[in-house]
Chain A
């Protein structure tokens, strides 16, 4: 207390300044909460609450000892949550904690400035977690508020009060734009991803994994997050043809499908014997930390840095750890080459928990009597019969399947009979292998939502799907989607909404008729378009793009000297330009003069420029004579301006009123006819 008393009044922060700073800190922390541990969030909320209460009841402000205790508690809290206070998570949690604690110790304006500057740092740290346009925009607003408060606090540039300070900081922000652009374009790109520095922006990624067991696709299906965006070069195929091919699974251990070891020496390239016209498309894929790239079934050309595996997976040479953009071509109908015996053997391997009733079912299909013929059915007929079985029998499609025990395939086929794509695909592939038909599982996505605003298709995690490929003699690998065989009347829509709890992005099917639903959908798609463009133009601006841009600007030769030199040059040029503008401004900094200059400029645009030697009165009279329609507006302005300028009766109100008058003043060039009429009136008056 004694310390506080010795501080001069002028150096103590005002109550409103503390209030605004606290609110700004709270606003800046709000999006961060998504990535913070719950107990850290709780601590932040507690301290912010104490701070706000102390504004109302100053006695509630903890003294030095309690503050020290709180600081230790905050440190302990972070340690308890993350077991470390370094690294991306622990470090930023500690930063947020300490920043909020500093709010309890705002004895001088210097403290307030410190908080605001740290807040800027905390804002930037958030980009390690999220680079979306939304957050960038939000943090831009926070930065504007921050500069406003700093300006107001320093009383700089004659800005006393928040409103003028806001105007000043808005102008600063506008002036910063060219510099930002120059830095954005020229700043050397890091070719090594940030995670090599111990930071990881792909934290907590949800996405497809390279194995399949009951439950892991249903996790995805409730996840509304983006998987990738596709832009088709030509016509977009129908949704039921959009099978986005991902990992291919060969081995089943009774419960779980895994890729399995490829037969050694399997070098034969993927080969299509027949194919339709290829379609071309560009995909911007979210990071997965996996190597596979999604491509439409079947890919025929690989992008740079990727290859098509023998089982037609599009595999990148490196794991996708950052946003990945690639162009691929696919054919929708095809006939694959037939693999050799080793591959067939791999596709026929059975787990050891195949039950007799499964074998009996398959045998039944094989020997079923159709059309009076009793000879053994061929492979393709068997596939048809299996699909018919799923359709005819009481199979349900639900996202809330009952729990399965040790032998999920058997239990699903004969007891529970409800499940979703992974259950169907898994058991179908297994049944095919029992029947001696080589089969494998393909994971990927099905369909996608068309975004008419951006002209692209959005594929989300919730579009995740699994299907089966069977090898048929003479036809190669054929895609079979057993899930699609389930009778539509037995698809349990209700399940989706039940499973999706609060917070998940539920895609209600409210029907196209509901206007609100349509608007919501449009709004969502519009937001996604914005985000896609942000990714396209900002996040995805790579070193190669930079080089290409330099070449196009004719600055390619400069690259020998290094981008850094170019950047320094550009920045100094920009700063020099700003300095010039500032110096010019100093000579006519007088806001009153600027307003008058703007009036003259606007009149100049309609052919009535002020002569350099013309005084305001003479000018006003000349304007009034030439344009009687403008006389009252110009006269009103000059009646205020002249005494303010020459009588030096300038008050902020006058300035405001002049500025208001000017805002409404946009003279238009007069048509010949009305100009003539004006002249007549003038001469009559004279």
Chain B
């Protein structure tokens, strides 16, 4: 990977390879994997919403391995405290000072499992760190590692003992995806195949951290022509004007949409954005910000996205 900013950083083969290897572990979820990778390349955080046991954890772990990121997992529970996430200062008798014991958040890729099981206080500890990419503990600001990527999972709300994430918190996630049950053929292959955990553990990194950061930078640099800007803006305007939505998409959502579309274009090996890129990421980027905290079915997301897209001419 060239580090010269001018030379084209696009190596579609690389992205394809990552996706191919991931697809060998998580079967039949190529689109979701691609979305997750696009989300990461766009420096966004990912919310995976689904029932337990559909492979959310495997996905997070797999991405961490493939991208060569160090990984930690926080199991959110109702008694989780912010300090459990961020870390805590402990008095060290040898140095006669407080020493900060960093929490699990000081990792490059964090799996925040079942985020809606924790209290809002604990949730916000994580979510604020996600936005700021730094944490302040006892007056000292500590930067989080780079790249920093959170994959949060969330159970459908009708399960007992959940604290729904407020809209403002949901907005911090660039994308929300659903994994869903695998298709019959893939599920049979899964049942017949070897242990997924071992497969993930065997996985070799495909990228160095520097390469990943360079890829993320090239997403930012990727060109979006005026018609694309117009198109994204038209989508934002439509959601704000439509009676179907209580609130429209925020400017941050617009930025996220454009960013995700760029990332999607990069994965397609292009150095410019097409309307199809925007359309591909729209269900994941926009719908969770529009429907609020109520977790819909996947089909619902697509239906909402289709409603928007069919009403906004390219």
Residues of A within 8 A of B (CB): 611-618, 642-643, 645-648
Task: Report Cα–Cα, A612/B228, bound state, in Å.
Answer: 15
- Are B274 and A615 closer than 8 Å at their CB atoms? yes
Chain A residues with CB under 8 Å of B313's CB are 612-613
Q: How far in angstroms is the closest Cβ of chain B from A411?
A: 94
Q: List 29 A-B contacts (CB under 8 A).
A: A611-B310, A612-B314, A613-B279, A613-B309, A613-B310, A613-B311, A613-B312, A613-B313, A615-B274, A615-B275, A615-B279, A616-B274, A616-B275, A617-B276, A618-B276, A642-B274, A643-B272, A646-B225, A646-B227, A646-B272, A646-B273, A646-B274, A646-B275, A647-B223, A647-B225, A647-B270, A647-B271, A648-B223, A648-B225
Interchain CB contact under 8 A, A646 and B314? no
Cα A617 to Cα B314 with chains together (Å)? 12
Which residues of chain A are within 8 angstroms of B276 by Cβ–Cβ distance? 615-618
Q: Which residues of B contact A647 (CB under 8 A)?
A: 223, 225, 270-272
Interface string of B169-183 (1 = CB under 8 A from A): 000000000000000
Give complex CA distance A19, B79 in Å: 91
Chain B residues in 8 Å Cβ range of A611: 310
Distance to closest chain B CB from A644 (angstroms): 10
Are the C-beta atoms of A645 and B314 separated by less than 8 Å?
Answer: no
What's the minimum C-beta distance from A204 to chain B, rounded to whole angstroms? 65
User: Which residues in B have their C-beta under 8 angstroms from that of A618?
Assistant: 276, 279
Closest Cβ of chain A to B235, distance in Å, is 10
Give the complex CA separation of A388 and B13 in angstroms.
Answer: 110
CB distance from B53 to the nearest CB of A (A): 34
Produce 1/0 per residue, B272-296, CB < 8 A to A. 1111100100000000000000000
* Binary per-residue interface labels of chain B (251-281) against chain A in the complex, 1 for a CB within 8 Å, 0 otherwise: 0000000000000000000111111100100
CB distance from A619 to the nearest CB of B (A): 9
Residues of chain A within 8 A (CB-CB) of B272 are 643, 646-648
A612→B276 CA distance, assembly (Å): 13
What B residues does A645 contact at CB under 8 A? 225, 227
Nearest chain A residue, comparing its CB with the CB of B311: A613
**Residues of chain A within 8 A of B228, CB atoms compared:** 646
Closest chain-A Cβ to B308's Cβ sits at a distance in Å of 9
Chain A residues whose C-beta falls within 8 Å of the C-beta of B314 in the assembled complex: 612-615
Given contacts A611-B310, A616-B274, 12 further A-B contacts (CB under 8 A): A612-B314, A613-B310, A615-B275, A615-B276, A615-B314, A616-B275, A617-B276, A618-B276, A645-B227, A646-B274, A647-B270, A647-B271
CB distance from B274 to the nearest CB of A (A): 5
Question: A676: shortest Cβ distance to chain B, in Å?
Answer: 30
* Cβ contacts under 8 Å, B309 to chain A: 613
CA separation between A615 and B313, bound complex, in Å?
Answer: 9
Kindly count the residue-residue contacts between A and B in the assembled complex, taking CB atoms under 8 Å apart.
Answer: 42
Q: Mark B296-314, 1 if CB is under 8 A from A, else 0.
A: 0000000000000111111
B279 to chain A, nearest CB (A): 6
User: How far apart sit A642 and B228, CA to CA, in the bound complex (Å)?
Assistant: 12
Q: Which chain B positions have C-beta within 8 A of A613?
A: 279, 309-314
B310/A617 in contact, CB under 8 A: no
* In the bound complex, CA of A643 to CA of B223 (Å): 11
Count how many chain B residues have C-beta atoms less than 8 Å from C-beta atoms of the other chain. Answer: 18
Q: Which residues of A contact B225 (CB under 8 A)?
A: 645-648
B311 neighbours in A (Cβ, 8 Å): 613
Cα distance, A615 to B231, chains bound together (Å): 11
Closest B residue, CB atoms, query A617: B276
- Kindly provide the distance from the CB of B270 to the nearest chain A CB, expressed in whole angstroms: 8
Chain B positions 143 through 168: 1 when the CB is less than 8 Å from some CB of chain A, otherwise 0: 00000000000000000000000000
Residues of B within 8 A of A614 (CB): 314
Chain A residues within an 8 Å CB radius of B270: 647
Report how far A648 CA is from B225 CA in the complex, Å.
Answer: 7
Docked pose: A658 CA to B285 CA in angstroms = 35
Q: How far is B309's CA from A617's CA once the two chains are assembled, in angstroms?
A: 15
Q: Tell me the bound Cα distance from A642 to B268 in angstroms.
A: 14
A356–B223 Cα distance when bound, in Å, is: 113
Q: Which 7 A-B pairs have the closest CB atoms?
A: A615-B275, A647-B272, A612-B313, A615-B276, A646-B272, A617-B276, A646-B225
Closest B residue, CB atoms, query A648: B225
Q: How far is the CA of A647 from the CA of B314 in the complex (A)?
A: 16
Bound Cα distance A647, B276 (Å): 14
User: Is there an interface contact between A617 and B223, defined as CB atoms closer than 8 Å?
Assistant: no
Residues from chain A with Cβ under 8 Å of B223 in the complex: 647-648
In Å, the complex CA distance between A646 and B271 comes to 9
Q: Which residues of A have CB within 8 Å of B274?
A: 615-617, 642, 646
Q: What is the CB-to-nearest-CB distance from A661 to chain B, in angstroms, rounded to a whole number?
A: 20
Cα distance A642–B312 in the bound complex, in angstroms: 19
By a CB distance below 8 angstroms, the chain B residues around A646 are 225, 227-228, 272-275
Question: How distant is B93 from chain A, measured CB to nearest CB, in Å?
Answer: 63
Query: How long is the Cα–Cα vector from A612 to B274 in the complex, in angstroms?
Result: 15
Please measure, in the bound complex, the distance between the C-alpha atom of A155 and the C-alpha atom of B227, giving whole angstroms: 28
Output the least CB separation between B261 and chain A (Å).
11
Considering the chains assembled together, what is the distance between the CA atoms of A659 and B275 in angstroms?
A: 23
Write out the residue numbers on chain B whose beta carbons fall within 8 Å of the beta carbon of A617: 274, 276
- Chain B, residue nearest A618 (CB): B276
A611 to B228, CA, bound (A): 17
Q: A615 — which chain B residues lie within 8 A by C-beta?
A: 274-276, 279, 314
Contacts of B275 in A (CB 8 A): 615-616, 646
In the assembled complex, the Cα of A647 lies from the Cα of B273 at a distance in Å of 7
Q: How far is the CB of A603 from chain B (nearest CB, A)?
A: 15
For the complex, give the distance between the alpha carbons of A613 and B271 in Å. Answer: 22
A615 to chain B, nearest CB (A): 4
**What sequence of 0s and 1s flags, for each residue 110-122 of chain B, a beta carbon within 8 Å of any chain A beta carbon?**
0000000000000
Question: A613 to B308, alpha carbons, bound, how many Å?
Answer: 10
Closest beta carbon of chain A to B312's beta carbon, Å: 6
- Distance A618 CA – B279 CA, assembled complex (angstroms): 11
Least distance between A384 CB and chain B CB atoms (Å): 94
A601 to chain B, nearest CB (A): 15
B275 → A minimal CB distance (Å): 4
User: Within the assembled complex, what's the spacing in Å between the Cα atoms of A646 and B311?
Assistant: 21
Write out the residue numbers on chain A whose beta carbons fall within 8 Å of the beta carbon of B227.
645-646
A616 to B312, CA, bound (A): 15
Instruction: Output the least CB separation between B231 and chain A (Å).
Output: 9
Q: State the Cβ distance, A620 to closest chain B Cβ, in Å.
A: 10
Q: Give bound CA distance, A646 to B227, whole Å.
A: 7
Name which residue of chain B comes closest to A592, CB basis. Answer: B227
Cβ distance A363 to chain B, nearest Cβ, rounded Å:
106
List B60-89 residues whose CB lies under 8 Å from chain A: none
> Closest residue of chain A to B265, judged by CB?
A646
For A612, the chain B residues whose CB sits under 8 A away are: 313-314
Shortest Cβ distance from residue A618 to the other chain B in the assembled complex, whole angstroms: 6
Chain A nearest CB, measured from B84 CB (Å): 46
Q: Which residues of B contact A642 (CB under 8 A)?
A: 274
Closest Cβ–Cβ distance, residue B286 to chain A (whole Å): 15
With the chains together, A613 CA to B305 CA distance in Å? Answer: 12
Bound form: Cα–Cα A646–B276 in Å: 11
Q: In the assembled complex, how far is the CB of residue B199 from the closest CB belonging to chain A, in whole angstroms?
A: 31
Residue from B272, B273, B311 having most chain A Cβ neighbours under 10 A:
B272
Which chain B residues border A643 with CB–CB below 8 Å? 272
* Closest residue of B by beta carbon distance from A642: B274
**How long is the Cα–Cα vector from A464 to B276 in the complex, in angstroms?**
81
Closest to A590 in B: B227
Alpha-carbon separation in the docked complex, A614 to B306 (Å): 12
C-alpha spacing A613/B231, complex, angstroms: 10
Instruction: Find the B residue at minimum CB distance from A612.
Output: B313
Report the Cα distance A646→B313, complex, angstroms: 16
Least CB distance from A605 to B in Å reads 20
Chain B contacts for A616, CB-based, 8 A: 274-276
Instruction: Please give me the residue from chain A that is nearest to B275 by CB atom.
Output: A615
Question: Quick one: closest A residue to B306, CB to CB?
Answer: A613
Alpha-carbon distance between A611 and B312 when the two chains are bound, in angstroms: 11
A614 to B274, CA, bound (A): 11
User: Shortest CB–CB separation between residue A591 and chain B, in angstroms?
Assistant: 14
